[in-house]
Amino acid sequence: MTIPDIELETPRLLLRPPRLDDFEDWAAFMSGGGDYLRYIGGPQARSPAWRALMSVIGSWAALGYGFFSVYEKASGRWIGRLGPWQPEGWPGPEVGWGIIESEGGKGYASEGAAAAIDWAFEHLGWTEVIHSIDTGNLGSKGVAAKLGSRYLRQDRLPAPFDDKDIEIWGQSREQWRARRAGASA
């Protein structure tokens, strides 16, 4: 199995499958003291962060998709991870996001997620996309709304993240394409 040689480019970002040399940035992101971590399972020490990165790399090798590493083009810095994701028992085909706290509020999550959604619909053949969002995560709800997604239902993630309800936001491929066509008209 090999990892596809994919790079997605947006006006400000470069997205590519993660590599082992992303680990230091990934681990720093997952161990940081930022408020964002409470919405994605809490801070992680280096060893669980390593296992998480290896899980994403493995998803790319086995399934041909997973979170992308996100690089800011202007600086060349790793600033987060986002993209298509659907682990066993997940409530649907998701495009999720996580941007380092210092770069939050700049529109990077929605810019990168839009490219990932386009790619998932075009290359993976997905017919819908969801975003699983902690009920208190107003920032991610704003990103989902900016992407044109809407609240669909309450649900739960599979264990070990099944301790509380989450909101499922999303849209169909047809809704996404109609919105994109309307925006470019």
Q: Which of 16, 50, 15 is nearest to 30 (CA)?
A: 50
Percent of the chain at pLDDT above 70?
Answer: 92
Residue type, 183: A
pLDDT in tens, 90-147: 999 999 999 998 999 999 999 999 999 999 999 999 999 999 999 999 999 999 999 9
69 within 8 A of 78, measured Cβ to Cβ: yes
Q: What is the pLDDT of the chain when averaged over all its residues?
A: 92
pTM given for the model: 0.93
Q: Looking at residue 32, what is its pLDDT?
A: 77
pLDDT in tens, 35-88: 666 666 666 788 999 999 999 999 999 999 999 999 999 999 999 999 999 999
Residue with tokens 């992407």: 147
109 within 8 A of 97, measured Cβ to Cβ: yes
DSSP class per residue in 42-77: ----HHHHHHHHHHHHHHHHHHS--PEEEEETTT--
pLDDT in tens, 91-103: 999 999 999 989 9
Neighbours of 169 (CB within 10 A): 23
168 confidence band (pLDDT: 50, 70, 90): very high
Neighbours of 133 (CB within 10 A): 21
33 pLDDT higher than 70: no
CA distances to 5, 141, 148 from 138, rounded to whole Å, are 34, 5, 15
1 confidence band (pLDDT: 50, 70, 90): low
Token readout for 44 is: 């992680």
